[in-house]
Amino acid sequence: MRQRIGRRLKGFVADLQARGLRAPLLAIIDGNPGLRPALSRTWPATAVQRCAVHKLRNLERKAPKHALDELREDFHRIVYAASADAGRAAYTAFERKWATRCPGVGRSLHEGGAELLTFFTFPKAQWKTLRTTNVIERLNEEFRRRVKTQGSLPTEDAALILLFSLVASGQIKLRKIDGHATIATVISKRLRPAA
């Protein structure tokens, strides 16, 4: 089953590339085991950020109920750190503490690895948005809820028209990405070849 999902994701990413999508600077992903290798094969230079919200949920499933508040506090020290150095220090402390106390939590954090800290390489104003996939998931969830009420959408264009009309009417609200004013600068710096 995993191989079939991996092949589908590889095909999905390859199809995006074939349709003209250039290598993204950053991909924010959940823990889907096939997505990471598919991205690496197609766009090896793309930075990857693991979703902090998904990782926290995974960690919570491996911890005893009485330790959840403490686990959340320790994890938040990582993802809400004031700097990359502070985030790495908090990551190391979390790993050291929880690997002995609850080995499943330690393994799960280690599985996310440095990809939990990728957002630190971007401007601080964008960190909140880049830590998680929640922004796009919220949009998808709301769109799915609206589509459920339709009998069917006969074409892809019908789905796009519905999405546009929901956004245009204000029924689905899109907000600017935090730090949106610096995105063009970030892109130009990351695309500029090193001298």
Q: Average pLDDT over the chain, rounded to whole?
A: 85
Question: What is the DSSP secondary structure assignment for residue 180, as one 8-state letter?
Answer: G
Note the pLDDT tens digit of each residue in 144-157.
787 777 767 778 78
Model pTM score: 0.78
User: With b meaning 16 or more CB within 10 Å and e meaning fewer, what string describes 26-63?
Assistant: bbbbeeeebbbebbeebbeeebbbbbbebbbebbbebb
Please give the helix or strand (H or E) that residue 13 lies within, else none.
Answer: helix 2-18
Q: What confidence score (pLDDT) does residue 5 get?
A: 56
Note the pLDDT tens digit of each residue in 130-139.
898 777 777 7
Q: What confidence score (pLDDT) does residue 9 get?
A: 67
